[in-house]
Structure 1
Amino acid sequence: MKFPQQGQSPDALLSQLDARKGNDVPWEEGRVFAYIYDAGPEAKQLLKDAFSLYMTENGLDPTSFPSCMQLEKDVIGMAVDLMNGGEQATGTFTSGGTESILLSLKTARDFYRDRRPDITEPEILLPTTAHPAFHKACHYFDLKAVLVDVDDKFRAIPEKMAEAVTDNTILMVGSAPSYAHGSIDPIRELGEIALKHGLLFHVDCCVGGMYLPFARELGYSIPDFDLSVPGVTQLSMDFHKWGYAAKGASCVLYNDRELRRYQIFSYANWTGYAVINPGVTSTKSGGPIAACWAILNYLGREGYLKLVDAAQQASRKIVDAVEAIEGMEVMGEGNLNMLAIRALDFDIFPLADEMKRRGWYIQPQFGFANSAENMHLSVGYHNVHAVDEFVRDLTEVATRVRQQQMGKARFEIPEELKQLIIGAGPEVLDQLTELLGDGTSLPDSMVEINNMLNQLPADSREMLLGEYINRLYNPDQH
């Protein structure tokens, strides 16, 4: 697309934008089980209004926009209260879980640079279920990620985590819950290990922070996970997931405000204004923080209890249905609204494609370590009214897909193709155009692509997907 010579009317532009959404997944119908968090039309309108009210305000400078600072302090105060932080607990509002995690690991690195300068190759202990954002942070901040195996319910194993501690370990990570399987790590036991070895301990509560407290209050069995657990020093939680805030809205919390000092970047050695950044970005739109403040106060504890209760009941319907489908099972514990479904005796990727053709979006996940390939569902309030229809379609489609595959050989990537890709560079994508296309548009079917990626080593997946996205996002120059 070339830069326009003349402007267009607002109506014409909005019409074009609306038309471009035609190929997006139909999330308004409750048929998407990832990426979308919607608490209903009244809540959505409040988010739009609050966001618009603060769309232009910039949280970069609290002396110019003190209202943005006060909104952030209010939201962080509510988060600390929900996560049972003490009087010294504090935090920072961020653009999302990835930024929260980046800041937490940057803080840990700088804390140890100050307190333990003898550690020149700092290590981060991660269960294999930890979110890729931790690996991204390690990549950005020159930290070594040490992966530790999990149990068959996809929970961290305290004994293995303890065995992995070295003189270079600075921080340990646990999830409450992990995104892929919805499993909660044994946070209290991990906290004991952190205390014993004098480590910082981050709890990734991005998908659980605005869900687990209310599930526990409703009577569900939720193990200890928050800032009240001895040994937990920092925690990330997203508001734009089960807090139903506008994207992007998250936070990183610390049990000790002295630790948070290492997060902040300040710079005055130049000819301009002094730069002080609590987060990764400088400019910080007031829109997300205002919308977050509004939704938290609009729903309150009573509102979130209703949303969580509805999501839990809908999730239970899906779990019960999957258990009744021959050849399928729910992985992990299946107690929350984050579910992973696997096929025991057939290829699950055609099932994901067939469900998408019926208008349902389920997130495929590749096999890694002790986790087989599966489909992930994040079940929220916006899915509740469509769950009965989803269960009927899933049962019908899964039964048919399984029957069609019985007696047939599964898709196997040819060995010569596998060897061609393993160890190759991005240029190998040019030799895969028959399967992947030229990389400038999305394919109609993902079955063969997902099967190929699933059978490759993770490093080869990363290379192919990185190059594919690099090509896909090149601008059209017509």
Structure 2
Amino acid sequence: MQIPSAGMDRDAIFDQLTEYKKDDVDWTSGRVFGYVFDPGADILAFGKEVYNRFLTENALDFTVYPSLLRLENDLVAMIRRHLRGNDQVAGNFTSGGTESILLAVKAARDYFREHKPEIENPEMILPSTAHAAFHKAAHYFGVKAVTVPVDPKTFRADVEETRRCITAETIFMAGSAPSYTQGVIDPIAELSALAEERGIWFHTDACMGGFLLPYFRRLGRDVPDFDFVLPGVSSLSVDLHKYAYTPKGASVVLYRNPELRKYQMFAFSRWLGYTMINPTVQSTKSGGPLAAAWAVLRYVGDENYLSFAQKKMAATQRIRQGIEAAGDLYILGDPEMTLLSFSSDNVNIFHIIDEMRIRGWYIQPSFSFQGTCANIHLSINLSNAGREDAFVADLNKSVEAAKKLPSGTLVKEVQKMMDASGRQAFLENAGDLLALAGVAGGAMPERMAPINEVLDAMDPEMREKMLLEVTNRFFHP
């Protein structure tokens, strides 16, 4: 493909875009449990309208667009109050949870570079349920990630094991409220107190729950403290494009005071161009997501968000009951929000996922790790409310269908290939695996179970290398 010599007709372009989208997941169906958080047509349309009004404004320089500075300060004020922060709590708007987490790790690293320069090889301690974004931050910023296994039954962070892992090089600890994986809240009070005792930066990853959990507390749920009411919490991340239903990408990273927040920023004037001062990772960025987030929070309002929380709480309970009533399935842990993971000891869960997709549902697989079996993940959304019974009925049908399907065929073929060529040569010829799995022309096969079985059978390091090889081939013209 090349740039056309003359401009194309706009309708022809839109027709082509429609054709490109035909195989995308239909997130408007209410049958998707991830990626898009759908509040309904009215809120979506309003958010898009505001987004478009600020689409071309550039948040690179707040002195040029003071409107964006005001919107950001207003938004941070709303969220810090929501999370029980005082007037000293400072923060910034970011593109998503990953950027918020990256900034918190970068801030901690730079804080300790200044205050404890004797630490040459900084470390951070993470529960094995901590979001992958922390490991991305470790990779980017040269901080060693020390992973601590969680309790195998509750899936919560192990405080005493965390304590044993602290060294003179430890600068950062984290916990989740809740974890994305099993939807349970780590013992944030105990972890943050430990961090405070040892002079370590503690971050609460509340990207999934930071906006919704305060509403669950108001609805009578026993929600443990995880926010700035705990003196040991140094920073906190909360996404708005999830359960606040603002357009992507929208997240906020908060710090206990401006002195800590200062270390997330970047300034540079040692070149012949303009002086660069970036509060967050991005330089040039559209004002659209920020303005839309500010506007949607005000448009929906607190009472409506409380009503949404009630509906999601009820939908989660109904789906959980349906899963637990199915004799072949069981819930992992004791979920505390709207996130569930479930598995089976005698039915191939990857076949269940395929069968559900055939019936029009999109659900996510999670691979086995550190003794936890492969499982199915659900992020239950407002749009899923009202479809619980249909979901449970189709899930039961999918389980019965999955029982009749063969497993392990592709795994055996791949093992033969690896035995014949060796691990490295097999990785370098990832195209052979794609062909064997029925992947052709960039299109994925209808059934992903054989591919997921192969990935699940690999150790995590091999799995990562294989995914890099395969992904590198997909992103090629």
Q: Please, what TM-score do these two structures have when normalized by structure 1?
A: 0.96
Aligned length: 472
- Residue of structure 2 in register with 1:462 after alignment: 464
Question: Which of residues 411, 414, 435 is equivalent to 1:413?
Answer: 411
- Residue of structure 1 in register with 2:319 after alignment: 318
SS, match of residue 385 in structure 2? helix
Mapping of 1:404-443 within 5 angstroms? 404=404, 413-414=411-412, 415-417=415-417, 419=419, 422=423, 426-432=427-433, 433-435=435-437, 437=439, 440-443=442-445
- Residue of structure 1 in register with 2:231 after alignment: 230
Residue 129 of structure 2 is aligned to residue 126 of structure 1: no
- Residue of structure 2 in register with 1:387 after alignment: 388
Q: Distance in 2 between matches of 1:363 and 1:40?
A: 22
- Residue of structure 2 in register with 1:211 after alignment: 212
Q: Distance in 2 between matches of 1:146 and 1:224?
A: 25
Give the aligned residue type for 1:75: L
Mapping of 1:71-86 within 5 angstroms? 71-86=71-86
- Residue of structure 2 in register with 1:67 after alignment: 67
SS, match of residue 301 in structure 2? helix
Residue 343 of structure 2 is aligned to residue 345 of structure 1: no
Decide whether the 8 Å contact of 1:103 with 1:279 is kept in 2.
Answer: yes
- Residue of structure 1 in register with 2:9 after alignment: 9
SS, match of residue 150 in structure 1? coil
Q: Distance in 1 between matches of 2:258 and 2:317?
A: 40
- Residue of structure 1 in register with 2:449 after alignment: 447
Give the aligned residue type for 1:101: I
Decide whether the 8 Å contact of 1:25 with 1:359 is kept in 2.
Answer: no
SS, match of residue 147 in structure 1? strand
Mapping of 1:23-34 within 5 angstroms? 23-34=23-34
Instruction: Identify if the C-alpha distance between structure 1 residues 110 and 439 changes in structure 2 by more than 3 Å, giving closer, same or farther.
Output: farther
Residue 52 of structure 2 is aligned to residue 55 of structure 1: no
Instruction: Identify if the C-alpha distance between structure 1 residues 424 and 119 changes in structure 2 by more than 3 Å, giving closer, same or farther.
Output: farther
Of 340-349 and 132-141, more deviation after overlay is shown by: 340-349
Residue 177 of structure 2 is aligned to residue 176 of structure 1: yes
Give the aligned residue type for 1:30: G
1:337 Cα deviation after fit: 0.8
Q: Distance in 2 between matches of 1:207 and 1:140?
A: 23
Of 385-394 and 190-199, more deviation after overlay is shown by: 385-394
Give the aligned residue type for 1:78: M
**CA shift digits 1:121-170 (9 cap, x unpaired):** 00010000001100000000011000001012111011111111011000
> What is the aligned-residue RMSD (CA, Å)?
1.6
Residue 150 of structure 2 is aligned to residue 150 of structure 1: yes
**Identity, % of aligned positions:** 43
**CA shift digits 1:417-473 (9 cap, x unpaired):** 455564557413133231263673323321110001001000111111111111101
Decide whether the 8 Å contact of 1:325 with 1:399 is kept in 2.
Answer: no
Question: Which of residues 460, 471, 474 is equivalent to 2:473?
Answer: 471
Mapping of 1:160-309 within 5 angstroms? 160-309=161-310
Q: Distance in 2 between matches of 1:297 and 1:320?
A: 35
1:9 Cα deviation after fit: 2.6
Instruction: Identify if the C-alpha distance between structure 1 residues 325 and 413 changes in structure 2 by more than 3 Å, giving closer, same or farther.
Output: same
Q: Distance in 2 between matches of 1:321 and 1:98?
A: 33
Q: Distance in 1 between matches of 2:261 and 2:182?
A: 30
Decide whether the 8 Å contact of 1:418 with 1:456 is kept in 2.
Answer: no
Give the aligned residue type for 2:411: I
1:322 Cα deviation after fit: 0.5
1:344 Cα deviation after fit: 2.0
SS, match of residue 46 in structure 1? helix
Q: Distance in 2 between matches of 1:298 and 1:344?
A: 46
Q: Distance in 2 between matches of 1:422 and 1:133?
A: 27
1:382 Cα deviation after fit: 1.1
Q: Distance in 1 between matches of 2:33 and 2:235?
A: 29
Of 380-389 and 213-222, more deviation after overlay is shown by: 380-389
Decide whether the 8 Å contact of 2:185 with 2:336 is kept in 1.
Answer: no
Instruction: Identify if the C-alpha distance between structure 1 residues 160 and 423 changes in structure 2 by more than 3 Å, giving closer, same or farther.
Output: farther
Give the aligned residue type for 1:108: A
Q: Distance in 2 between matches of 1:283 and 1:354?
A: 43
Decide whether the 8 Å contact of 1:422 with 1:457 is kept in 2.
Answer: no
Give the aligned residue type for 1:62: F
Of 410-419 and 119-128, more deviation after overlay is shown by: 410-419
Q: Please, what TM-score do these two structures have when normalized by structure 2?
A: 0.96
Decide whether the 8 Å contact of 1:50 with 1:294 is kept in 2.
Answer: yes
Decide whether the 8 Å contact of 1:436 with 1:449 is kept in 2.
Answer: no
Q: Distance in 1 between matches of 2:422 and 2:374?
A: 20
Decide whether the 8 Å contact of 1:441 with 1:472 is kept in 2.
Answer: no
- Residue of structure 2 in register with 1:378 after alignment: 379
Q: Distance in 2 between matches of 1:40 and 1:437?
A: 35
SS, match of residue 462 in structure 1? helix
Decide whether the 8 Å contact of 2:209 with 2:337 is kept in 1.
Answer: no
Q: Distance in 2 between matches of 1:436 and 1:224?
A: 49
1:2 Cα deviation after fit: 1.9
Mapping of 1:36-55 within 5 angstroms? 36-55=36-55
Decide whether the 8 Å contact of 1:440 with 1:473 is kept in 2.
Answer: no
